[in-house]
Amino acid sequence: MRISTRAAVVAAVLVGTVVPAGTAQAAGARGAGYVWADQPTAASYTPSAGYQMNSTGPAVRNTIRRAGTGVYEVRFTALGVTGGIAHATAYGTGTNHCKVSGWHVSGSDQLVTVRCFTLAGAPADTRFTASYTNRTSWAGFDYGRTYPGAYVWADNPTAADYTPTRTYQYNSEGFANRVTRLGRGTYKVHLPEIGWEVRGGHAVATAYGSGSERCKVPGFGWDEGSRSEITVGVRCFTAAGEPVDTRFTLTFTDRTNILGLESCCNPNGHQSAHLLADDEDAASYTPAASYLHVTQGGAATGTRQGPGDYTMRLTNVNLGGGTVHVQSSSWDAEFCTVGHWSAGGIKVRCHDAAGAPVDTPYELSFTGPWLLG
């Protein structure tokens, strides 16, 4: 990712591309996109049309290039605007995990680098889902209305209290988000003034950098004594499960998807869902209504097939495409992957730091393909 307060060449080297000084570049657009990267050893490819999206047009395609073992460059076509936020989630039933190690503008495109690792922290070719947005207006299911949302790139992991660069953060009320460090690998992200409109919400965090760290959101809510500020907890760990200071990306949303896109059934909207799966030991249950959003008033039902083996079924949402992000929401080093998704539901697999299947609550989000009309 190019950092506005540093030389462009230094930033470009972070993702392996140097842009010569003075080179004219076509303007990109504000918007969002996602991919399901299902060919981990292919040198380059265009993901399946049903499992990728680019808001600049329904026929616009994103592409993926493998830059090395477990290192991928996702090209989000025509979204080349400095700023925004990116997330990644490993896909499959194994114990690999993925993260974001940078994003930067290339011509009119946005290049997001994703890195994936084994349980031991070694680079590994892995399937994954990835998303990027640079939107500065958070849309929802009510056409023409904006909803509470925020994102932030937390780039100073050892600072006690700081305001991350404004270029890489967003707050739907126009205020600056802030990050405080509570201890090693433990952070609180402050999202001022959006709390007045929040009814429940959803948050996702992704570790940032070239190492094998993982990050997660163990909880969020209104700041103590205040209805105006939402605070989001973030915990980060080494591949071995030890707390570690590291950079991360974070997005918070309420009643819409984590990309800030129009939801169903607005013109050219997207079916969307987010939820907290909060009863990890139950054979079958309905997730907490206060943290549940499914377009068109849909419902969710979670089932447990065995330790760390879950299925989340959604009504009024077509799971025949789109993208999914998932992560454990416990305090400790448990982590989750997207097993797969289809009409039968979204499969989630969760493990402890040693790789054993483990029951854990988790956060899940779904963003569907275009519904043109």
Strand order in the sheet with 32-37: 52-54, 32-37, 128-133, 85-90
Distances (CA, A) of 365 to 42, 46, 118, 322: 27, 23, 24, 11
Q: pTM of the predicted model, to two decimals?
A: 0.92
pLDDT category, 17, cuts 50, 70, 90? very low
For residue range 144-162, list pLDDT tens digits in order: 788 999 999 999 999 999 9
Domain ranges of the chain: 31-133, 149-253, 270-371
Contact 235, 218 (CB under 8 A): yes
Token reading at 341: 């998704």
Contact 168, 156 (CB under 8 A): no
Mean local confidence (pLDDT), 260-288: 94
Identify the pLDDT of residue 240.
97
Whose CA is closest to 317, among 277, 361, 269? 269
For residue range 184-194, list pLDDT tens digits in order: 999 999 999 99
Q: Is 60 exceeded by the pLDDT of residue 22?
A: no
Identify the pLDDT of residue 264.
87
